[in-house]
Structures are given as structure tokens and as C-alpha cells.
Structure 1
């Protein structure tokens, strides 16, 4: 999908699976939470690969327990410590942006790993919207419901200052103003569900029931949730272990 003038790197930051989704502890045991994080990341990466929207695909992580997923999905794994000496997501993404620029990339696409409803068409829409912008410092963002930034595609990524964390969309927008970037924010219904709370998990189960969820996450939910629970969100807490 990228044009001959575009050379896009895409990176999916992935946390240690064993420490993921702690706020779901009232409805899922620790091993189930780890498996859910694995499945959701697998669905995001599968959608990214199917979109053909990027020339290079990477997983960024500070945990070697994510290597197996990268290998299974044939995506290049990057150790966070190899791209930055500083802790945190912003430093890690900035490190990837420097590597991308060195490799000749014109843009970097950052996609969070906990959006199992994301589709290849959604990612293609982000890239086509970016390509339609005028100028040579184009930025497209997808805002989360809580004011975060679920997807970000930035041209000249090594010059962009990343502001992930609370209210990141507003801070990324200010960064665009500071740099005089041509920018826009688009809304995707599939990214409205980034699974961080028990209510989000209830919504995820309903999406799986309705066929709107990625295959890896759907298969896991069908395994760990009795069929009756997929239809009755009020009883999810009964599966806590």
C-alpha cells in the first residue's frame, strides 16, 4: 500500500505478558491475563501484516518473554534496551524512530497491542489519510476514548517528540502545532475498545460473541469462558481464579 515515495516502519510495543492487564485481576487469573495479552497482541500484528501498510514490521519490548510471539508471527523483535538507555515507552519509540531514520524510513507507524478489534482496513485507512495530507511533516493520530493515542503515523519520526501517557493525544496535538505539522485525527470504532478494565473485558466478550474480534482473542475467550458467559456479562466475575 505505501507509495514508491513512502518507506514506512511500523512498531507494536508489547509489555511483559506476565505483568499485563493487572486491572483485570477480579475476573481473570494471572495466567489467563497473560494469555489474553498474548492473543490481543497477536491479533493486532496479524491485522498489521494483512494491511500491507508498512515496509518494515517490528515488535518493541523490554521483556524476552515476548520473543516467542514475534517468532510465531514472523515479525522482527527489538529489545528496548538495544534502542535506548532510558526507561519508558517514549524513550523506546524515540529509539525506534532513530533506527528507522537511519534505515531511510520516511515515517513511523506506532500501534498499541491491546486493540483486538483492529482490522487491516482500519490500518490502511490511517495510511491513506496520512498520504492525502499536504506538506512534508504529516501526522495522523487515532484518539482513544480516554484521551490517549492508539495509533500514530508521523513523517520524519526522528524529529517528532513522543508523549505517550495520560492525555497523550492532546500532547501529541501540541507537538504537531509546535512543529507546524499537517495533521489530523481520525476516529475508528475498532480502537474504542482498548482492554484496560473489567467493563472493557465485558465489551470484548460481547464483540467476540458478535464476530467483531480478532481470531486469536476470540479463540481464547471461547476456551476460558463458558458459552453462557459469553452472552451474560453480569456473570463474568464468576470465572476469577
Structure 2
């Protein structure tokens, strides 16, 4: 079992020699199939707005966090994702002086730090989306050195840069930020070697293995890496995965990382400022506080 770090509001000093570069990966499926457990209180349009505002908050928080070099969003619906994140990368000042010579709006300073990536149709599912993000994050590792990987779910309305800093400051190769029940994984930080892409993809349903020839330069041996285990009881599964590889894991529980927004009960657990920010875009949830 990984060490449990209870919320104390402060970051811990990191270990010397760890990679300075951090790449965050945010899986975002689409704008229509998520938040089904809120369907009894939100219509499809409201659920889509909720998905968008939550994703915008998470991505904006990551971009505002010290040490995060770039954010990779892996999605099956790039058009929806672009619309959801447009405010993060496009200057919406409305002033003609901020428009480019071609009449198009100028991009913000964060635009070149955000990348939206299409999830391959033949690699569905949350674990596969995160794995694709890990591959993107390590593309230039050979030239620029290894990276730390930070995986963040796109529905954390109370997440702050201080939460991100505290997570990254933990001195462990694997850091799991669990949900408020202590069962799931809302954020996951991996240092090398865990942050390197898997060279063997394990198909858990069939028990068979599919080897990716791209990961075998020079025909070298296949070495299995850290396997993502998002889903039910993912906190325990990720800690067990770290133990399997002989890596120390730390479990962190902070208010800003613990509360996602999947149910009405989650809404009630949110701080007032987070409810107010989300409620501006999703009145049906705001009206529940009236």
C-alpha cells in the first residue's frame, strides 16, 4: 500500500535530480456521452456545457501551474474540445488592435503550450487515451531529456495551482491523488521510468499481449512499463502497479484534487466559489443552491 499523505495545505520539497520538465495529459472523451449520472437533473445541452466548463478550468489551472511545460488533451472529439478550450488559447479582448493582420484573433501566450490530439479510433477507452498522451509527452525526450508525466481528469472544478504544486513536490516516483472516497485516481504523477511509454500493451480482458513495434528500436527486448489502471478502485490498482515495478507510491488527498463532479452529491461537496463558477454556465446546477 502506498504512503498516505493527508491534506495539510502545503507542498513538500521535491527530490534533487528529478526531471524539471512536466507534461500534463488530460483525457477528454467528447461533449455528449459524459456526466450520465447527472442526466436526471441536466438536459444534454447542460451536460455538454458542464463538460466544457470543467475541462476549461482544469486545462487553465494546469497551464497556470509553475513547472508544467505543456498540456496534451487527448480526445475523440477535437471539434468540441477546441470550442471548449478556445478561451484558453484565443485572445477574446474584442479590441481590433489585438487582431492579426489577417483579421483573425491573436493567440494567447499559452497557445503554444496546449496540444489537442485525436484519440485513435482503434485505441478506445480511458487507459488508451492516457497512454496516447504519454507517447506524445515523450516524443522529444531523447533530444530534451526525460519528463515527468502528470495525468489529470477533466472534471475537477476545485483544482488550483497550489494543488498541482503540492502533487509535483511529493518525493516519490508514483504519486496518486485520490478522490474524496479514497478509491479512485483523479490525478497521477509519474517520474521516469514510469513516465516512459509502455513497450508492451497488455490486453487485460483477454490476458494476451500486443507488442508495439514502434517501441522496439533496433529490435531490442520488450520491457513492460507502468500500466494505467483507471476505473473502479484505481487508487489501489495504481499503487499495486507501482509495487509490481518496485517503485514507491504516495497517495495524496487534498480538497482541490479529491472532488470531481459526477453526481449531485459531488455538487454539494464543492466549495462555494467553485459552485458559483460552474453555476454561471450551468444554471440548472446553480438553481439547486437557491
Q: TM-score, normalised on structure 1?
A: 0.81
Q: Secondary structure at the match of 1:11?
A: strand
- What is the CA–CA distance in structure 2 between the aligned matches of 1:72 and 1:196, rounded to whole Å? 24
Query: What is the aligned partner in structure 2 of residue 24 from structure 1?
Result: 38
- 1:203 lines up with 2:238 in the alignment: no
Do the aligned residues in 2 keep the contact of 1:148 with 1:168 (CA within 8 Å)? yes
Q: Structure 2 vs 1, CA of residues 218 and 162 (structure 1 numbering), >3 Å: closer, same or farther? A: same
Query: What is the aligned partner in structure 2 of residue 118 from structure 1?
Result: 159
Do the aligned residues in 1 keep the contact of 2:182 with 2:235 (CA within 8 Å)? no
Q: Structure 2 vs 1, CA of residues 174 and 61 (structure 1 numbering), >3 Å: closer, same or farther? A: same
CA-based RMSD of the aligned residues comes to 2.4
Q: Larger % of helix: which? A: 1
- What is the CA–CA distance in structure 2 between the aligned matches of 1:163 and 1:13, rounded to whole Å? 14
Post-superposition Cα deviations, 1:157-209, rounded to whole Å, max 9, x if no partner, equal 123211111111111111100111122111111233211122223434xx3xx
Shift of 1:70: 3.4
5+ residue gaps, structure 2: 1-13, 90-113, 198-224
- What is the CA–CA distance in structure 1 between the aligned matches of 2:41 and 2:122, rounded to whole Å? 36
Shift of 1:18: 1.6
Q: Structure 2 vs 1, CA of residues 214 and 116 (structure 1 numbering), >3 Å: closer, same or farther? A: farther
- What is the CA–CA distance in structure 2 between the aligned matches of 1:214 and 1:152, rounded to whole Å? 27
Query: What is the aligned partner in structure 2 of residue 78 from structure 1?
Result: 117
- Structure 1 segment 53-68 matched on structure 2, within 5 A: 53-64=67-78, 65-68=80-83
- 1:194 lines up with 2:260 in the alignment: yes
Do the aligned residues in 2 keep the contact of 1:118 with 1:214 (CA within 8 Å)? no
Do the aligned residues in 1 keep the contact of 2:279 with 2:285 (CA within 8 Å)? no
5+ residue gaps, structure 1: 232-241
- Structure 1 segment 118-157 matched on structure 2, within 5 A: 118-129=159-170, 132-133=171-172, 138-144=173-179, 145=181, 147-156=183-192, 157=195
Aligned length: 216
Q: Structure 2 vs 1, CA of residues 123 and 226 (structure 1 numbering), >3 Å: closer, same or farther? A: closer
Query: What is the aligned partner in structure 1 of residue 236 from structure 2?
Result: 170
Query: What is the aligned partner in structure 1 of residue 106 from structure 2?
Result: none
Q: Secondary structure at the match of 2:250?
A: strand
Report the structure number with the largest CA radius of gyration. Answer: 2
- What is the CA–CA distance in structure 1 between the aligned matches of 2:67 and 2:234, rounded to whole Å? 24
- What is the CA–CA distance in structure 1 between the aligned matches of 2:63 and 2:273, rounded to whole Å? 20
Q: Secondary structure at the match of 2:240?
A: helix
Shift of 1:53: 3.1
Q: TM-score, normalised on structure 2?
A: 0.68
- What is the CA–CA distance in structure 2 between the aligned matches of 1:175 and 1:218, rounded to whole Å? 38
